[in-house]
Structure 1
Amino acid sequence: MSLSAERILVTGGAGFVGSHLVERLLADGHDVRVVDDLSNGNETWLPDEVELVTGDLADPEIAAEAITADLDLVVHLAADKDASRDDIAQFQSNTTLTETVLDRMEAVGLDRIAFTSSSTVYGEAPRPTPEDFAPLEPISIYGAGKLAEESLLSVYGHSHGFTVWTFRFANVVGPRLRGAVVPDFIEKLRADPDHLEILGNGRQEKSYLHIEDCVDAMLHVIEHTDDPVNTVNLGTRTTTSVDRIASIVAEEMGVDPDRSYTGGDRGWTGDVPKMRLSIEKLAALGWEPTRSSDEAIRAATRELLTEL
């Protein structure tokens, strides 16, 4: 599936992943529209030439303004992305949002959509976890919502003539990241360089993917797959523990804090303490990450230190 000078809508395009994707799409010669309510995003992260529709995409009027027949592809990132929320309202709002997007796309004859899902759909699965692992038993509301959205997208792919790309993300890090472990540690150590409180026991260990690799992998998969439903893990072959992240951040900041822990084997209700995705399917498509998990964390730390 060639991506050549297309007109693309990025929902949630003013956010962390979205704004980086928009920059890459523009650099590749595409015409880009963004729809974002700016609850998680920042308008200043968008280049001036981007057309921005500001508002809640769950509103049919906003959806009608943003999703038009002249588009070639929708990349759907808009969501409440707080994986630590244990709140059914998050499930309802995210699934309703995706339903609204699909309904509007079908109404205007648009049938290509890429969706950002999450490793949380797997729950506490054996590692490395392949895309065909079953049964999928998420342990968080966030993961349950992503799985429900994947299911709805699958119906549109198999029964409504859509082409769907579903990306199951590992943890993505880099510039503009907010509300995650690296910026959290930076902010805590700036406030008190002698002490760092760590959620859980510090031994949680996950895969971290740099945003540049993430965006590159997304576009590579879209260009090299065209089944009705294309589900692909995006991650690295390596993992990094929370304690190791603390060490990397401290090293980059030139501090040596004492550490305390809130206890337990996870940071919050629904946290998956160990996660590594199989990326064999991604590799078979000809793509490999350029940074290991540790390297992604270190690069992101250096980048975030210049902007936080």
Structure 2
Amino acid sequence: MDLSTQHVLVTGGAGFVGSHLVDRLLADGATVTVVDNLSSGSRDRIADDADFVEADLTDPDALDGVLDGVDLVFHLAASKLVDTDRPHGQFEDNTQMTLNLLEAMADADVTKIAYTSSSTVYGEAPRPTPEDFAPLEPISAYGASKLADEGLLSARAHSHDLTVWNFRFANVVGPGLRGAVIPDFIEKLIEDPESLTILGNGRQEKSYLHITDCVDAMLHIVATADDAMNTYNLGTRTTTSVDRIAAIVADEMDLDPDYEYTGGDRGWTGDVPKMRLSIEKLAALGWEPSLSSDEAVRQSTRELLDELR
């Protein structure tokens, strides 16, 4: 698929991943419409060349007329907080958004959707985790909602004229990221350069994928995979521990803080302590990340320091 000729709708396009995706789509020549309720995204992130619709996708009428002339949907809108105090509400919101979007797409005869799922659908699985690992047993309501959405999309793909590209992300990092370990460490060390509080025991270890690689991988999959349901892991072949992230951030800030740990083998309820996705299926499609996990963390640290200092 040549996206330069397409009209693309991006739900959640005012968020971290969504805004980077919108910028890349526009640079590639696509026409882009963004739908976002701005609950966690920012209007300032959306490029002037994109059309913007402020709407809440939990409203069944939110997309009335919005999908006219759209060729492809990237569905990123979701409640993303893993350690939420309203797990049932989060599950209902996320699945309702996807159901409403699918109904609106059917009404507008839009037959192509790319969906951003998550490594959290696997739960605490052996590593590296391939796409065909089973059973899928998420340990958070967020992961459960992503798995439920995958089921909704799969059912439509196999029973209706719908093509689905389903992306299971590792941890995505880069400029504009907030509410995650790298910006958290930077903000803590700006406030107190002498000490750093680390959630858990510091030995949690996961893959970190830079946002430029993430967007590039998504677009590569959409351009080259053509089954009804196309599920791919997006990540790196390497991992980085929380202690290693702390060391990289401290090194880039030229600091030597003392570490204090909150204890336990995970940072919060629903946290998966160890995660590395197999990307062999993606590699067979002709794509490899340009940065390792450590390199993605270091580059993101430098980019975020420019923003947060």
TM over 0.5: yes
SS in 1 for 2:117: strand
Q: How many residues in Structure 1 have an aligned counterpart in Structure 2?
A: 307
Residue of structure 2 equivalent to 1:239: 239
Code of the aligned partner of 2:4:
S
Match of 1:85 in 2: 84
The one-letter amino acid paired with 2:214 is C
User: How much has 1:283 moved relative to structure 2?
Assistant: 0.1
Q: Give the distance between the partners of 2:179 and 2:99, measured in 1 at CA.
A: 26
Give 1:65 deviation, angstroms.
4.0
Residue deviations 1:37-66 (CA, integer Å, cap 9, x gap)? 111111111111110001212223322143
Checking the alignment, whether the CA contact within 8 Å between 1:129 and 1:277 is kept in structure 2 is: yes
Aligned to 1:76: 75
Deviation at 1:187, TM superposition (A): 0.7
1:139-173: CA deviation from partner (whole Å, max 9, x where unpaired): 11110110000000000100011000000000000
- Return the TM-score normalized by structure 1: 0.98
User: What amino acid sits opposite 1:123 in the alignment?
Assistant: G
1:251 alignment counterpart: 251
Q: CA deviation at 1:7?
A: 0.1
Residue 302 of structure 1 is matched in structure 2 by 302
Q: Cα deviations across residues 108-149 of structure 1 (Å, max 9, x unaligned)?
A: 111100000000000010000000000001111110110000
Scaled by the length of structure 2, the TM-score of the pair is 0.98
How far apart, in 1, do the equivalents of 2:28 and 2:5 lie?
8
Matches within 5 A, 1:29-178: 29-66=29-66, 68-85=67-84, 87-178=87-178
Percent identical residues: 68
Does the residue aligned with 2:3 lie in a helix, a strand or coil? Answer: coil
Counting only pairs closer than 5 Å after superposition, residues 191-270 of structure 1 correspond to structure 2 as: 191-270=191-270
Unaligned runs of 5+ in 1: none
Indicate if the aligned counterparts of 1:53 and 1:65 stay in contact, CA closer than 8 A.
Answer: no
**In 2, distance between residues paired with 1:5 and 1:58?**
30
Q: Which amino acid aligns with 1:219?
A: L
Q: How many Å apart are 1:4 and its aligned residue?
A: 3.5
Which amino acid is the alignment partner of residue 70 of structure 1?
G
Structure 1 runs, 4 residues or longer, greater than 2 Å off: 1-4
